[in-house]
Structure 1
Amino acid sequence: MSKILILDELDKRILLQIQQNSALTNHELAARVHASPPTSLRRVKRLVDEGVILRQVALLAPDKLGPSLTAIVEITLDMQTSEKMQAFEELVAHEGAVQQCYRVSPGPDFVLVIQVADMPAYHALAHRLFATQSNIRNVRSFFSMHRSKFETQIAL
């Protein structure tokens, strides 16, 4: 279990701002959180070093990039030993189309969020990841018809 970092109000203001726009310059961030630029820079570096900020990325609009299909997939394994669960996590970790993987309880063992171009691409991925694996008992897929909300921001 990882160490929980105690955040003060300035840390929370910084995290709120960079969750909304990580492209802010240090001077813009400092002005928005009412801190000096050196203090802002030092705090962000500490939050990165402590693992609170994992990485800063650009969020893309899949519908602007061509055909897109989002699948939410439930996976139930035949055997749920820690080694088998970890092996499945490692299998999907190397697949770029798998955007998220959650180990869940109760119900299925895993829920995946998958982004592919179309149904043939999903079929190929499902065959490669699920049909050829001997420890997968059940696969249940749901296909998004419309995304009404997508957020990455964590409430602080």
Structure 2
Amino acid sequence: MSEQLPLDELDRRILSALQTDASHTNAELAELVHVSPPTCLRRVKQLTDSGVIQRQVAIVDPDKVGARLTAIVEITLDVQAAERMEEFEQLVAQEAAVLQCYRVTPGPDFVLMVQVADMPAYHELAHRLFTAHANVRNVKAYFSTHRAKFDTRIAV
């Protein structure tokens, strides 16, 4: 785990504004957070260099790009040795349809968030990642019927 960095009120305002809309120009962001553009630019650079801001992305509507099926998948491995856990993480990290992968406890070893076009696409992914993988003992999938909330903001 990495250490938590101290954030002042300006850092928090910048992070809140960027999490809402990262497409603002530096001048727009500076105006939103009530500082000069050079100060704003310097702070954003510090937040980026320190790893607080990992990257800036566009959030895409899955329905509009044909990725309509969301699956939450629990995976239990047969062997939980560190190297086997890392091997599984590397396998799923290479798969574009796996949006998130968490090592969890208690219960299954991993929980994955998967976004695919449809059930046949999920079955293909499941075969490739889980059935063909000799160390997967159990797979339990939940399929979303309605997304009540989706957010990427972290309270700062």
Q: Return the letter of the residue paired with 2:40.
A: S
Quote the residue 2:95 is aligned against. Answer: 95
CA distance in 2, matches of 1:48, 1:95: 26
Deviates more, 1:127-136 or 1:60-69: 60-69
- Tell me whether 1:62 sits opposite 2:57 in the alignment: no
Q: Return the letter of the residue paired with 2:68.
A: S
Q: Identity over the aligned pairs, expressed in percent? A: 65
- 8 Å contact kept, 2:67–2:115: no
| Structure 2 residue ranges without an equivalent (≥5) | none
CA root-mean-square deviation: 0.8
Quote the residue 1:3 is aligned against. Answer: 3
Tell me the TM-score normalized by structure 2.
Answer: 0.98
Q: Return the letter of the residue paired with 1:28.
A: E
Residue 138 (structure 1) shift: 0.2
Residue 4 (structure 1) shift: 1.9
Quote the residue 2:35 is aligned against. Answer: 35
Tell me the TM-score normalized by structure 1.
Answer: 0.98
- 8 Å contact kept, 2:69–2:119: yes
CA distance in 2, matches of 1:148, 1:3: 32
| Structure 1 residue ranges without an equivalent (≥5) | none
- Tell me whether 1:124 sits opposite 2:124 in the alignment: yes
1:43-90 deviation digits (Å, cap 9, x = unpaired): 000000000101000001111223510000000001111111110000
CA distance in 1, matches of 2:62, 2:115: 9
CA distance in 2, matches of 1:6, 1:138: 41
